[in-house]
Chain A
Amino acid sequence: MAITKVAVIGSGVMGGGIAAHVANAGLPVVLLDIVPPGAKNRNIVAEEAIERLLKTDPAPLMHRDFARRITPCNLEDHLALLAECDWIVEAVLERLDVKHATYAKIDAARKPGSIVSSNTSTIPLRDLVGAMPERFQRDFLITHFFNPPRYMRLLEIVKGPNTRADAVQAIDEFCDLRLGKGVIHARDTPGFIANRIGGMWIQSALQAAFDLGLSIEEADAIMGRPFGMPRTGIFGLLDLVGIDLTPQVAASMQRTLPKDDPYIRLYKERPLIARMIAEGYTGRKGKGGFYRMTRTETGRVREAIDLATGQYRPVAEPTLASIAERKPDVLLRHGDRGGQYARRVLAQTLAYAAALVPEIADDIVAVDEAMRWGYTWKYGPFELIDEIGADAVITLLEGEKIAVPPLLRQAAGKSFYRTSAGRLEYLAVDGAYVRVKRRPGVLLLADIKRKSKPLARNGSASLWDVGDRVLCLEFHSKMNAIDPDIVFMLGKGLDTVKKSNGAFKAMVVYNEAENFSVGANVGLALFAANVALWPFIEEGEAAGQNAYKDVKYAPFPVLSAPSGMALGGGCEILLHSAAVQAHAESYIGLVETGVGLVPGWGGCKELLTRQVANKKRPGGPMPPLMQAFEAIALAKVSRSAAEAGDMLMLRESDGITMNRDRLLADAKAKALALAKDYQPPKPAPLNLPGPTGAAALKLGVTELVHQGKATAYDAVVAERLAEVLSGGDTDMTLETSEDQLLALERRAFQSLIREPKTLARIEHMLETGKPLRN
């Protein structure tokens, strides 16, 4: 059945976030909440929730306009609207009586066959709907989103004994394809998968820090990055999610778990935490948490709480020798209290996870995915065991006097995952290796890489045959920064398709790193500039311009498929592509001015060309210039693929994919569709205003400098940019060719890279990751 309209009941953080994300998927949403006693505006609660959505950072909405897709309603006047909805999500208070009352209302108003789900994280499904009519039970399931729903990939689905299979199927598909979630089917057990194991991890790490006398900085430095867990560590994480959540989760676990569950045995109330919650120190949302920022005479100071005394003191860089150990296995053997801490927490957490399969999940793959997607672990628990070594983990458990679960015992001398005949396999409960199945329509480069060899490869990029006559160019340099090796491989990829006699019809630029590309390798450029190796920089710029031009005019379509950041040189490749299939979470922009440069690989030219061609723009020579100028001078970056459309970084004909795992398949399909009767674009010279236009743009910059909104050097950079965008020495009666614009880009870029202030900006960006306003 098709889901075309959705209702969300309860407009708190989760309800609001879910509603926003359904809106992100393009659907109309009805958001219902109570009418506060005596309220004049009976929709006030839901309306305020939508206002909050627009103010929250990071934004729950992918575009401000999407808020209009959400209709604020109340549970007294608008229940009839439920009859229009195919899916009704309940996200009200975690109280059984409230939920029961809500379900009664829903059931009375909904249309037959509509699906109802609860976002509960603590109440078993049987308690939720056990007393409801079977009709309701058949249409009911749990859809457990993680906070914030737009950004956290995990969605746990729990069905009841009576839930219709096609209802589960419909929600599964909708959440996967339309919401882009990583859907995991869990059982009706306490905490489902992620919170069960994550809760244990947090408790274990919390209790062990108290017991072993670690400072919170030490604990977070150990139980974080070294094991691919969030850098915040657990104390930083608790500050983020709210410390008051801890006793709530514990209480629900205590209600639902057997007394001999390791979590229950481990849990201890800590007076310090009770006191912090009572006094409002609940984390970032409160007065502070385990960490806080304090103003002192010397400025803002980050402080940490001392677990022993309960007093705040300035954060201290942890000096434990074990922290310096980068390898998890070495850290785990370390003799100091850091090593001891790591041993205890990991032993407890990993043993717990291993003991819970198949009780809470069908297989280890589901558990690993749940922890990666729901807790942003780099490795799920079983992948982490493989990283450390199954035998080492068994020894670790024995050392900590924890019984080794049978599943882990089974992995002795082996690993939980292996590659066999080019396929990824996992160790099933029965001890056999089983192939990891992908959902239909999911195509992962990682899988292709397992079973084939690249057609070409260098230190920064590779070419892969991704099937159906599509060639894939993969970046794999550090942060996918574009360097001469990538530019070379780009040319080689184009050549490969051209000379393939039809064996390849299109090229897709795609990779599976966190970011598509953070831009050109400015570190290399900075080093070359520092040793005054100007010809190298000049040649590098020219080579990039030529390669990107070749992308644009290739006799076959080149399609780029970004996810995450596509900045600077990474953005410029999108601008030159025949089409783009972007992951919804794509952050696109020309950010060169942040490091004191202008886009030099055709970015100025392409964005300007798009602005000039934009049919919706106001007339006259200046508006397109102003638009391009503003986007580049302010180094604007879209916060989603949807926003990138506003900036013309994406065209209406470009596609957006919600689910990260489906991006390559979508990109391939789009590329193949384009390849039929493909005609490369024709060069389109522009009529640009020349010096008068540049002068107008500069005037605006001067004003910003006067107002203190731009530095004098910002103005220098902006002036170089203005000279490029206005077409140099020309006027509206003359045509400016692409090559002339490229020459202007080169002139501006080469003059700026010789400026000490630009070099200082690049250096600062490389060393701190932040722009320098000099």
Chain B
Amino acid sequence: MTTYKAPLREYRFILQELFDIGELAKLPGYADATPDVFEQVLEEAAKLCEEVLFPLNRSGDEEGCAFENGVVRTPKGFKEAYNLFREGGWTALSCDPDYGGQGLPHTLQFFVEEMVSSSNMSFGMYPGLSRGAYSAIWRHASPAQKRKFLPHLVDGSWSGTMCLTEPQCGTDLGQIRTRAEPAGADGVYKITGTKIFISAGEHDLTGNIVHLVLARIVGAPAGIRGISLLIVPKFLVKEDGTVGPRNGVRCGSIEHKMGIKGSATCVINFEDAEGYLVGEAHKGMRAMFTMMNGARLGVGLQGLALGETAYQTARQYAQERLQGRALKGDKFPDKPADPIIVHPDVRRMLLTMKAYTEGARALAGWVSLALDRAERHPDAETREEAEDFVGLMTPIIKAMLTDNAFAATNMGVQVFGGHGYIREWGMEQLVRDCRITMLYEGANGIQALDLVGRKMPMHNGRLLRRFFHPVDAWLRQRQEKPELQEFVAPVMKAFGRLQQVTALLAQKGMADPDEAGAAASEYLRAFGLVAMAYLWARIAEIALAKAGGDERLFYKGKLATARFYMARVLPETNALFANIAAGAEPLMELEAEAF
């Protein structure tokens, strides 16, 4: 069995030692979001996750969802768990108080989501999708639409989806065929078409499902500039706000997947379904990106979450599993064998998992605080800075955190040896569940293109400034501190090369887009590794100051992991930079027919 205890001490470290969430309570509307409230909420969430959601993870995976006559049944216990989740107010956590939300910061939401996914990623999909729908409506819909749909999404009595993908188009949404025909009243359309891969598209957890559908209004321009966003509820909503007759929305089937089996992935057929235009006609992509950006950060968190569970379980196993002896002689002569944690290679895996996971959490904390600032800060320039930063880091969070998580869950299996391959232990489920995170909400290759092709050139590199300037300043301030050099020096070197490569890529990419495309994935990873290295250096600085205190082991763990990161993780950038320097030619030389 896997093990999971919510990493509350880690949260305190990120939120109060590495960063200062004290700043959040100073933002308008966040007066209640004091560090104390954070602690209480995280503790409550931890209980729910450990006691209710985590126990359903294995069984949910074994049972999966069932589909019969257009109806989807979630695994046993999900409905009861959802009711507890909803009644606990967890769907309302960071939602707008005007619609019944609790108005707490995204930062808090982030770490609650991490715990939920660590304990049961499939379950987390249902409220996760609802949050995406909530944000799109909250940001782009009319006041009447908000009044109609938001209170139900906030209290969790209804759920939401994002209906983008169609059989003929995934990444290339310009090819969408789902049609919206004007149906008399202003803003009301009849929707017809088929959407696939719709997570939480149909289930038995809520009384209604609010689909956010991308469709093409009849006569719209071809391509991406002719896409509109519409709200299409499963059940029509009556004037008084109660649920009315069934709309023309039907689940055609559910997919049989590699992982997240407790999450219903549906084919949804729309047939003359009534839908309501959100925002302007043909401008749906803008609203879609609101959902997408939130969702991408959410997927990065799922990766982080699975890495955490894998690490906790593997750590415990490595400490308890007695097998063979340490290479330099017995460590525990009184036992029949030494625990496998004495072995360098096992340590290599555990430390990689720990470095990835804790580094990822630091990165997530950095970005989530910016997200709160971007939304709430009274100063427009500060908001713009924060928004830039979130935009820049979103593809990195999405892609690198999930790539790392897949490596981490895979190492988790490896630490278990043959037992890792056995379902009962739960380690292989983590690998299977994790695999989707590298694919959905824009495959990781698309994230890399987003970084190199959009975020990098945007405003002549202004988004990059939000990362490069603070890191440059931090490093320069510590150039002369001898005790920090083992951390600062390697980061400076890698950071310097990242600067060079960034400028080179911007120039080469402008002349030849293939050059940008060829370097994109490696560039994103190198960027992410350098960003994480910077955070590990900051962590090390804090840990150095506190290593002699009460929590000696905790801080020693941080320091050793920071050293491990500099010595054994960051050097990966050398290979990445070499690959980038090789350019597009080695990839593009061979003609398609010759493969």
Give chain A's interface residues, CB within 8 Å of chain B.
319-321, 324, 459, 523-524, 526-533, 536, 759, 762-763, 766-767
Contact = CB atoms under 8 A, between A and B. Distances in A.
B468 interface: yes
Contact of B460 (A319, A321, A526, A532): A526
Contacts of A529: 465
A532 B500 contact: no
B469 A523 contact: no
B510 to A, nearest CB: 10
14 contacts: A321-B221, A324-B221, A526-B460, A527-B464, A530-B461, A530-B464, A531-B468, A531-B499, A532-B471, A532-B472, A533-B500, A533-B503, A767-B459, A767-B460
B575 interface: no
B468 A527 contact: no
A527 B460 contact: yes
A763 B468 contact: no
Contact of B221 (A319, A527, A762): A319
A533 B225 contact: no
Contacts of B499: 531-533
Contacts of B460: 523, 526-527, 530, 762-763, 766-767
A232 to B, nearest CB: 24
Given A459-B511, A533-B503, 17 more contacts: A319-B282, A321-B222, A324-B223, A324-B225, A523-B460, A524-B507, A527-B506, A529-B465, A530-B461, A531-B502, A532-B469, A532-B499, A533-B499, A533-B500, A536-B503, A762-B460, A763-B459
Contacts of B223: 321, 324
Interface in B474-509: 499-500, 502-503, 506-507
Contacts of A759: 462, 465
A761 B222 CA distance: 37
Nearest to A484: B507
Contacts of B511: 459
Contacts of A524: 507
Contacts of B465: 529-532, 759
Given A319-B225, A530-B468, A532-B472, A763 B502 contact: no
A365 to B, nearest CB: 35
A178 to B, nearest CB: 44
A481 to B, nearest CB: 13
A530 B470 CA distance: 11
B503 A527 contact: yes
A523 B223 CA distance: 31
A320 B221 contact: yes
**In this complex, which of B223, B468, B471 has the most chain A Cβ atoms within 10 angstroms of its Cβ?**
B468
A766 B461 CA distance: 12
A319 B471 CA distance: 43
A324 B460 CA distance: 24
**In the A-B complex, the 9 residue pairs with the closest CB atoms:** A530-B461, A532-B472, A530-B465, A527-B461, A532-B468, A531-B468, A321-B221, A526-B460, A533-B499
A661 B181 CA distance: 59
Contacts of A531: 461, 464-465, 468, 499, 502-503
**In this complex, which of B222, B462, B500 has the most chain A Cβ atoms within 10 angstroms of its Cβ?**
B462
A533 B499 CA distance: 6
B394 to A, nearest CB: 18
Contacts of B282: 319
**In this complex, which of A523, A526, A527, A530 has the most chain B Cβ atoms within 10 angstroms of its Cβ?**
A530
Interface string B219-251: 001110100000000000000000000000000
Interface of B: 221-223, 225, 282, 459-462, 464-465, 468-469, 471-472, 499-500, 502-503, 506-507, 511
Chain A facing B: main interface SS: helix
Contacts of A766: 460
A539 to B, nearest CB: 12
B405 to A, nearest CB: 28
Contacts of B500: 533
Contacts of B471: 532
B53 to A, nearest CB: 42
B407 to A, nearest CB: 28
B513 to A, nearest CB: 16
Nearest to A526: B460
Nearest to B506: A527
B387 to A, nearest CB: 15
B460 to A, nearest CB: 5
Contacts of A324: 221, 223, 225
B462 A763 contact: yes
**In this complex, which of A320, A533, A763 has the most chain B Cβ atoms within 10 angstroms of its Cβ?**
A533
A459 B510 CA distance: 12
B137 to A, nearest CB: 25
B303 to A, nearest CB: 27
B39 to A, nearest CB: 36
B542 to A, nearest CB: 24
A526 B461 contact: yes
Contacts of B468: 530-532
A459 B502 CA distance: 20
**In this complex, which of A523, A527, A762 has the most chain B Cβ atoms within 10 angstroms of its Cβ?**
A527
A536 B496 CA distance: 12
B256 to A, nearest CB: 40
A325 to B, nearest CB: 11
A599 to B, nearest CB: 21
A760 B210 CA distance: 42
Nearest to A528: B503
Contacts of A767: 459-460
Contact of A530 (B221, B222, B462, B507): B462
A530 B502 CA distance: 10
A526 B461 CA distance: 7
Contacts of A763: 459-460, 462
B106 to A, nearest CB: 25
Contacts of A320: 221
A759 B466 CA distance: 12
A671 B363 CA distance: 61
A762 B506 CA distance: 17
**In this complex, which of B459, B460, B472, B506 has the most chain A Cβ atoms within 10 angstroms of its Cβ?**
B460
Nearest to B466: A530
Nearest to B467: A531
Contacts of A762: 460
Nearest to B507: A524
B452 to A, nearest CB: 13
A532 B464 CA distance: 9
Nearest to A524: B507
Contacts of B502: 531, 533
A523 B225 CA distance: 28
**In this complex, which of A321, A524, A532 has the most chain B Cβ atoms within 10 angstroms of its Cβ?**
A532
A503 to B, nearest CB: 33
Nearest to A336: B221
Contacts of B222: 321
Contacts of A528: 503
B525 to A, nearest CB: 17
**In this complex, which of B225, B469, B472, B500 has the most chain A Cβ atoms within 10 angstroms of its Cβ?**
B469
A533 B495 CA distance: 10
B175 to A, nearest CB: 15
A322 B223 CA distance: 12
A758 to B, nearest CB: 12
A686 to B, nearest CB: 36
A529 B502 CA distance: 12
Nearest to B459: A763
A454 B459 CA distance: 35
A565 B500 CA distance: 32
B19 to A, nearest CB: 22
B433 to A, nearest CB: 37
A611 to B, nearest CB: 34
Nearest to B498: A531
Contacts of B461: 526-527, 530-531
Contacts of B472: 532
A770 to B, nearest CB: 15
Contacts of B462: 530, 759, 763
